[in-house]
Amino acid sequence: MATESRSNFWRRSAKVPGRLLPVYGCSLCRSSLSLCRSHKDTSKVNSLKAKKASSFHEFAHSTNDAWDLDDEEDEEPLRGPAPSATPPDVSVQTEGPRCDPEPSRRLQPGPDARRFQENKQHLNGKVGRSMSDARVSSSSAHTTTVQKQRALPVRPIIPLVARISDQNASGPPMAVRDKSRLDKFRLLLASPSTDLEELRKHSWSGIPREVRPITWRLLSGYLPTNRGRRELVLQRKREEYFAFIEQYYQSRTEEHYRDTHRQIHIDIPRTNPLIPLFQQPLVQEVFERILFIWAIRHPASGYVQGINDLVTPFFVVFLSEFVTEDVENFEMSALPLQTQRSIEADTFWCMSKLLDGIQDNYTFAQPGIQNKVKALEELVSRIDEDIHGHLLRCEVEYLQFAFRWMNNLLMRELPRCTIRLWDTYQAEAEGFSHFHLYVCAAFLLEWRKQILSTGDFQGLLMLLQNLPTIHWGNEEVGLLLAEAYRLKYMFADAPSHYRR
């Protein structure tokens, strides 16, 4: 009798759909009419609230492997665990018993329910739980959690120079080709006078880990090509650096330099905050001395945020000369004091050589960066009119996304392969100042399809500022560099080439 009345109710009621839709968070049977009504009102409100927030979260999930570490993320470990990107099972607050139909008649989630499941209430960092959630068995909760973890991508926590030491760590047995390349490098470096042009030619496609420190010193101009003079030059330059420390470092507390030192002191802990090596007080003191001495010796620019990032590749490469295990977790204090001093001095001088070529990037108003961004815009307009015109129609300025590319030399965009990228920059005569422009152009063209398919200002800007490159490796960077070389060959000495 009860079954008959329920059937008649569904036939004659115009306000209730002919079939119960599944509700995320609880299982309903056909007898739970009051439960369905209660949930219907609640789900409408919640879905409206979640609609706007879900669009951004969906975009964040689609670009889950690219982001910029900001101050909030730096402070997360201090505040405690934040709400997870894939929170625990959530259900709508309802009243009444939970009915579990027979397995053969269990309601299957439709598309609306699945969408509701993905766009669960995650507003203002608060997640709502129902009383019925406490009654869910541990096995079904575990299954639901696993399913959601598979469905929703988890944002990996990757630091600025992500896995930068992997390129310096010991790997599998060397291939025949790699061993042949290493032998060529060793032969060049062992000659009485190293042929820099030949060394650049071999270094362009990457430098073997075993000879990278000495090769970088030579290509940066820190060491002379004459092999017999190298030790004397190293000794003199290292003594000169520590003479600067004795002469200038105590002035950091003076009023004239107090602001500079304070800014350096604030920025250093933010440099690769998730890599243990760079959070060691001893390493942070090294960085502080390097940056402060460089700043007071270059008063035209002084210290500018972003320069702190440029120290890390040199430091890691020169540290790897004395460390065979994982560099990122190495304890700096385990090295002899003289070795620590050598690494610090070499890092300072090589970073200084790099910045000598791009110092106008960091002078007042940063004219070097502005000129390079303007040159990038002009270059892209000649290479690909479609991309250039699309950016103009969407009112996206090149400065809005390319400023960081120039300021940080793509270190944040290519965190896994900074050292490989810098191998080629060191091999190019003006790699950091001139060739970098063509690398940025090739990098922009790499995302042509995604750019042209995004038709609004906000979407384009979010794409270009959060490009999904966290999984790029040396192979992808090698192809990017080859394309940049092609563009340079076609356009560098042909200012009117393809101009319309």
Percent of the chain past pLDDT 90, that is, above it, reads: 56
- Pair 222, 350 in one domain: yes
Q: Is the pLDDT of residue 368 over 70?
A: yes
Asked if the structure places residue 68 within a domain, the reply is: no
- Pair 372, 347 in one domain: no
Q: Is the pLDDT of residue 34 over 70?
A: no
Mean pLDDT for the chain overall: 76
Q: Is the pLDDT of residue 91 over 70?
A: no
Q: Is the pLDDT of residue 315 over 80?
A: yes
Identify the band that residue 58 occupies on the pLDDT scale cut at 50, 70 and 90: low
- Looking at 357, 388, 413, the residue that finishes a domain is 357
| Extended beta strands in 59-137, E state | none
Q: How far apart are CA 418 and CA 82, in angstroms?
A: 30
Question: Residue 118 half-sphere exposure, CB side, CA atoms within 13 Å?
Answer: 18
Name the more confident of 76 and 430: 430
Asked if the structure places residue 399 within a domain, the reply is: yes
Predicted model pTM: 0.67
pLDDT given for residue 248 in this prediction:
93
Q: Is the pLDDT of residue 42 over 70?
A: no
Average pLDDT over residues 229-248: 96
Q: How far is CA 289 from the centre of its chain?
A: 26
Asked if the structure places residue 64 within a domain, the reply is: no
- Of 440, 466, 463, residue with least CA distance to 450: 463
pLDDT given for residue 43 in this prediction:
46
CA angle 64, 65, 71 (to 5 degrees): 85
pLDDT given for residue 272 in this prediction:
86
- Looking at 312, 327, 357, the residue that finishes a domain is 357
Amino acid at 440: C
Number of domains in the chain: 2
Identify the band that residue 497 occupies on the pLDDT scale cut at 50, 70 and 90: low
User: Do 437 and 375 meet the contact criterion of CB atoms below 8 Å apart?
Assistant: yes
Average pLDDT over residues 10-38: 46
Asked if the structure places residue 394 within a domain, the reply is: yes
Q: How many residues does the chain have?
A: 500
- Pair 350, 409 in one domain: no
- Pair 273, 399 in one domain: no
Identify the band that residue 174 occupies on the pLDDT scale cut at 50, 70 and 90: low
Name the more confident of 435 and 76: 435
Tell me the CATH number at 386: 1.10.472.80
With tokens 């009419």, the residue in question is 33
- Pair 248, 378 in one domain: no
Question: What's the Cα-to-Cα distance from 202 to each of 207, 313, 339, 423, rounded to whole Å?
Answer: 8, 20, 29, 10
- Pair 309, 410 in one domain: no
Q: How many helices (DSSP H) and strands (DSSP E) are in the chain?
A: 21, 0
Asked if the structure places residue 263 within a domain, the reply is: yes
Question: Which 8-state DSSP code applies to residue 291?
Answer: H
Q: Is the pLDDT of residue 327 over 80?
A: yes
pLDDT given for residue 484 in this prediction:
97
Percent of the chain past pLDDT 70, that is, above it, reads: 64
Mention every residue, 6+ apart, whose C-beta is less than 8 A from residue 333.
280, 282
pLDDT given for residue 348 in this prediction:
98
- Pair 300, 244 in one domain: yes
Name the more confident of 87 and 321: 321
- Of 2, 320, 25, residue with least CA distance to 169: 320
pLDDT given for residue 3 in this prediction:
53
Helix (H) or strand (E) holding 188: helix 176-190
The model's pLDDT over 112-158, given as tens digits with 9 standing for 90+, comes to: 444 444 444 433 343 333 344 434 344 444 444 444 444 433 334 44
pLDDT given for residue 94 in this prediction:
38
Identify the band that residue 60 occupies on the pLDDT scale cut at 50, 70 and 90: very low
Q: How far apart are CA 298 and CA 466, in angstroms?
A: 33
- Pair 434, 474 in one domain: yes
Q: Is the pLDDT of residue 176 over 80?
A: no
User: Domain range holding 376?
Assistant: 367-492
- Pair 352, 379 in one domain: no
Identify the band that residue 493 occupies on the pLDDT scale cut at 50, 70 and 90: confident
User: Do 401 and 412 meet the contact criterion of CB atoms below 8 Å apart?
Assistant: no
Distance from the first to the final alpha carbon of the chain: 83
User: Do 24 and 116 meet the contact criterion of CB atoms below 8 Å apart?
Assistant: yes
Amino acid at 140: S
Low-confidence winner among 25-34, 194-203, 371-380, 457-466 (lowest mean pLDDT): 25-34
Name the more confident of 192 and 133: 192
Q: How far apart are CA 264 and CA 249, in angstroms?
A: 13
pLDDT given for residue 496 in this prediction:
65
- Pair 324, 430 in one domain: no
Question: What's the Cα-to-Cα distance from 343 to each of 69, 271, 468, rounded to whole Å?
Answer: 27, 18, 33
Average pLDDT over residues 397-405: 95
Identify the band that residue 173 occupies on the pLDDT scale cut at 50, 70 and 90: low
Residue 86, Cβ density class (10 Å: 0-12 exposed, 13-18 middle, ≥19 buried): middle
- Pair 272, 346 in one domain: yes
Q: How far apart are CA 382 and CA 435, in angstroms?
A: 17
Question: Residue 198 half-sphere exposure, CB side, CA atoms within 13 Å?
Answer: 12
Phi/psi at 61 (5° precision): -65, -35
Instruction: Reduce the DSSP state of residue 473 to 3 states and report it.
Output: coil
Instruction: Reduce the DSSP state of residue 193 to 3 states and report it.
Output: strand
Question: Which 8-state DSSP code applies to residue 130?
Answer: -
Average pLDDT over residues 74-103: 41
